[in-house]
Homo-oligomer: A and B are copies of this chain.
């Protein structure tokens, strides 16, 4: 923590903390931010001024908030992941078929990130939004992704992030995780029964394409609906089929690199 950040620019780190603070507080003033981040007002003021002058922030009657530059970069990143473009329509079909919430997800920095959601008619309200990061080992989609990774890769992630327990069902043992991953790899899909959130279960299938970011598609719903017969054949089939369709579409998509123009 302290030994290896010798080469980092601490002023930048503070600026990033401020941006995140504004995001967390959904807009804030200087003093409010300073309190929230435990920084001197004047320091916050300097950073905010800098970010504002660079047009990364806007003011809304006194409060600062994130500006459209982030919209620009966000859309850029979305285009970067052609997986999102291609997978979204399939995700919506799957949401319609199952009636549940469907998510597209990817791995980044050893964590699971939600990037797209589609809600079926019965979909429950969830705490997931585009950009939300969660531990890979505690979700069906995370395990689905990990099942397609070399064991060393998995171990690296465990070293970096550990296996934090989120519910009583979370896998916290490395060996058990590896064993499950092997099973998941064989059967082609992963299940999460209240391993990240009490009362919520998921089924997910990996979408692995050469040269693409590791990703997955998952169905989430109340534990009462994701169990028994549904888990026997129905849901796994639907999810793995959807993943397969996306995988093929990505593989045979136009190979031209994404472009930013419309």
Binding site for B on A (CB under 8 A): 5, 7-9, 11-16, 19, 23, 26, 45-47, 49-51, 53-56, 58, 65-78, 80, 106, 108-109, 113, 115, 117, 119, 125-133, 257, 260-262
Q: Closest CB of chain B to A231's CB: distance in Å?
A: 24
Pick the 10 closest A-B CB pairs, nearest first: A74-B74, A72-B131, A11-B11, A70-B73, A8-B50, A12-B15, A75-B130, A9-B50, A71-B77, A55-B109
A77 in contact with B74 (CB, 8 Å): yes
- Shortest Cβ distance from residue A157 to the other chain B in the assembled complex, whole angstroms: 14
Tell me the smallest distance from the CB of A131 to a CB of chain B, in Å. 2
With both chains docked as a complex, state the minimum distance between the C-beta of A246 and any C-beta of chain B, in angstroms.
18
Contact of A76 among B23, B78, B128 (CB under 8 A): B23
**Is B47's CB under 8 angstroms from A12's CB?**
yes
Which has the most chain B C-beta neighbours within 10 Å: A23, A125, A126? A23
Contact B68 A113 (CB under 8 A): yes
B71 touches A78 (CB 8 A): yes
Taking CB atoms, residues of chain B closer than 8 Å to A109 are 55, 58, 67
Query: Which of A46, A128, A262: most chain B CB closer than 10 A?
Result: A262
Contact assessment for B131 and A73 in the assembled complex, using a CB-CB cutoff below 8 Å: yes
Interchain CB contact (< 8 A) of A132 among B51, B67, B72: B72
User: Complex: how many Å from CA A104 to CA B242?
Assistant: 34
How many whole Å from A102's CB to the nearest CB in chain B? Answer: 12
* A69 to B23 Cα, complex, angstroms: 11
Given A58-B109, A73-B23, A76-B23, check contact A127 B47 (CB 8 Å): no
> Closest chain B residue to A61 by CB distance?
B211
Contact yes or no, A68 B108, CB < 8 A: yes
Across the interface, do A66 and B71 meet the contact criterion of CB distance under 8 Å? no
Residue of B nearest to A111 (CB): B55
One of B8, B56, B68, B130 near A106 (C-beta < 8 A): B68
19 A-B pairs besides A5-B53, A12-B47, A26-B260 with CB distance below 8 A are: A7-B49, A12-B12, A12-B50, A16-B51, A55-B108, A66-B73, A66-B76, A67-B108, A68-B106, A68-B108, A71-B74, A72-B130, A72-B131, A72-B132, A73-B74, A73-B131, A74-B74, A128-B262, A129-B261
